[in-house]
Amino acid sequence: MAEMFPRIRACGDSMLSVELADYIDDDVNRRIIALFDELNRNPIAGIEEMAPTYRSLSVIYDPAITRGGALADVLQKRLQALSVTDTSSRCFSVPVVYGAAVGIDLDALARMKDMTTVELVNLHASAEYRVYMIGFAPGFAYLGGLPDALHTPRLAAPRQRIEASAIGIGGKQASINSVPGPSGWRFIGRTPVRLFDPYRTPPFLLKAGDRIRFRPIGEAEAARLDTMVAAGQTVLEPEAA
Amino acid sequence: MMHLRILQAGPMVTVQDRGRRGLLHSGVSGSGPMDTPSFRIANALVGNGEDMAALEFASAGGTFEVTEPVRFAVTGGDVDIRIDGSAVRPWESHNLFPGSTLVVGGLRSAVWGYLAFSGGIDTPLILGSRATHLRTGLGGHEGRCLRASDLLPIGCLDPTPHLALTKLWRRSNRPINVVAGPQDDYFDASAWRTFLGSSFVVSSSRDRMAQMLDGPVISACRGNDIVSDGTTFGSIQVPGSGRPIVLMAERQTTGGYPKIATVASIDVPRLAQTPSGSAIRFRLISQAAAEALLVAERQALQDVMTGLSEKTEPMSVAQEVAL
């Protein structure tokens, strides 16, 4: 049975999920973020907060102010009237030390792909990525735009601890880890940049819709950036348009 | 400054407040109490505002001292509480003086307890909240469970009357209400019959993040992988094992398993408080019905908190028995 989208689903008594598709797609994600931005600009009474994901928008509401049924009708109308422009998205150049202790899978991945590590690094750093969503953990960035040749299934058994700086590949997705933890993704490098630091202003550097390029750096520059990051500097600034 | 000293801590004592709000789009889940009504009643019993922080504990509290006189209250369930060896009741406020030792023992027929002090636990706000998020080491006291020799600041509060809860707060064995979705269509009629027609046993695999359920396997006819989307407190994920996982206060904000249903907000604390090994059943209700129940329960909780009765003289159980 073919699915009918968009559809708005109940998630209990205080959340709706506005689903535009059940697959990963750039245009779908652009529409989700456009809806998120639209609802931030022109709020609907009763909505407490929202979270855009790859293909859906989670909408948390207070049932004492609006009921899910009525809110779904209003959201449908907003969706129909939605115009999608993403001229506001920012682009960042993320410095990466490829390989070494955190990039544990770089060499094996290059062999698996029948490339040299230099070719793999150049391919990874040649693409423009897009932040599809921030989710799972604080500041964790799910990136779209990974070149087809780098798509790699996750490990059968996750590793127990991967560092907060790790640059990963999981299936068709790329990522920048924001907190340490277990992961079944493959890791090819690390960045001195901290996407999440609760003691820094701002605590989060990226948001859904941002664009990213990876910039290979050497250990010397990484050490310099590490020192700046340790001093609480953000290091990462959007590139001039 | 007034301080709380931890002499001995139960297995999972954390600082919690109402939780973090407004950061879901940055991947930060609410955290906060597993049983919000019990938490709120604990704060109300000692005259605290609803934004103040208290301690949450799992199964047993611990041993505590204070550096200045405070009032405290323990809620969540029936529990053995002693001040210098004399028993006092849960669900009402008592004085604790410097030099005295407070022992909060094991919960009976409940899993999560709350220990509130007048003035509130005054650890720093992290991202707008004092709630501990254990998995990411955020908030509370150094982002972790409390242990012996920890010293926590307590805020100041003008004295208010001693209060007691007169009627037990909500205990029932009725089925846990759920609302279908958002991926209810990943499960066919037979899977739904299993889900609604069987008993599930609350597993001992549980923490502040998630609660596993044992019982019949639920198979997803459209597979157990979805493109990750948003989760909420009470989302019931079904991974490939067919064993349901209910996401709790400290859940991940997005997940890639289909969610057959969501526990109604009013029944989330009841599920959280169900001891491991106990059987539960699910009952399907509409989103509108769950909303109505939630709105009514909020009013009932408000009524309970404004209707707390004043104790003229704080009295220990031993004193009461002696009368």
Evaluate if residue A4 carries a pLDDT over 50: yes
Q: Considering only CB atoms, which chain B residues are within 8 Å of A172?
A: none
Chain B environment of A17 (Cβ under 8 Å): 181-182, 229-230
Our CA-based measurement puts residue A62 at a distance from the nearest CA of chain B, in whole angstroms, of 9
- Contact residues, chain B, for A33 at CB < 8 Å: none
At B225 the pLDDT is 83
CB contact A72 to B (< 8 Å): no
What share of chain A has pLDDT > 70, as a percent?
97
Q: How many CB atoms lie within 10 A of CB B192?
A: 16
Q: How big is the A-B interface in CB pairs under 8 Å?
A: 145
User: Is the per-residue pLDDT at A101 higher than 70?
Assistant: yes
Select from B127, B254, B262 the Cβ nearest to the Cβ of A12: B262
pLDDT in tens, A125-154: 999 999 999 998 999 999 999 999 999 988
Chain A CA closest to residue B255: A136
Could you tell me which chain A residue has the CA closest to the CA of B137? A179
Give residues 202 to 221 of A whose Cβ lies within 8 Å of B: 203-204, 207-208
B290 and A13 within 8 Å at the Cβ level: the answer is yes
Find, in chain B, the residue whose alpha carbon is nearest to that of A203.
B127
Q: Which residues of chain B have pLDDT under 50?
A: 318, 321-323
* Inter-chain CB proximity B294 and A36 less than 8 Å: no
| Beta bridge partners of residue B63, listed in sequence order | B8, B103
- Which positions in chain B touch A48 (Cβ < 8 Å)? 21-22
What is the rounded distance in angstroms from the CA atom of residue B236 to the CA atom of residue B182?
10
Of B26, B288, B294, the CB nearest to A139: B26
Answer whether A10 sits within 8 Å of B234, measured CB to CB: no
Rounded average pLDDT over A186-194: 96
Distances (CA, A) of B178 to A125, B117, B148, B297: 46, 34, 40, 16
Query: Is the backbone peptide bond immediately before A52 cis, with ω within 30 degrees of 0?
Result: no
A196 chain-B contacts, CB cut-off 8 A: 26-27
Interface contact B230-A69, CB threshold 8 A: no
Contacts (Cβ under 8 Å, ≥6 apart) of A55: A19, A20, A21, A22, A23, A24, A25, A28, A29, A32, B227, B229
| CB-closest option in A24, A60, A67 to B227 | A24
Task: With CB atoms and an 8 Å threshold, state whether B180 touches A60.
Answer: no
Q: Do A135 and B138 touch (CB under 8 A)?
A: no
pLDDT at B322: 46
**Interface pTM, i.e. ipTM:** 0.94
Cβ pair B287:A22 closer than 8 A: no
Q: Quick check: A19 contacting B, CB < 8 Å?
A: yes
Report chain B residues whose CB lies below 8 A from the CB of A9: 181-183
B222 touches chain A (CB under 8 A): no
B127:A136 CB<8 A: no
Contact check, Cβ <8 Å, B179/A13: yes
pLDDT-above-90 percentage for chain A: 82
Q: Is some CB atom of chain B closer than 8 A to the CB atom of A175?
A: no
Does the distance separating the beta carbons of A207 and B27 come in below 8 Å?
Answer: no
* β partners of residue B5: B65, B151
Determine the residue among A3, A13, A32 to mutate to test chain B binding: the one whose Cβ has the most chain B Cβ atoms within 10 Å: A13
pLDDT of residue A88: 62
For residue A234, name the pLDDT band (cuts at 50, 70, 90): confident
pLDDT digits over B146-161, tens only? 999 999 999 998 888 8
pLDDT in tens, A49-83: 999 999 999 999 999 999 999 999 999 999 999 98
- Long-range CB pairs of A223-232, under 8 A, 24+ apart, other chains included: A225/A95, A225/A192, A225/A193, A226/A192, A228/A192, A229/A192, A229/A193, A229/A194, A232/A197, A232/A199, A232/A200
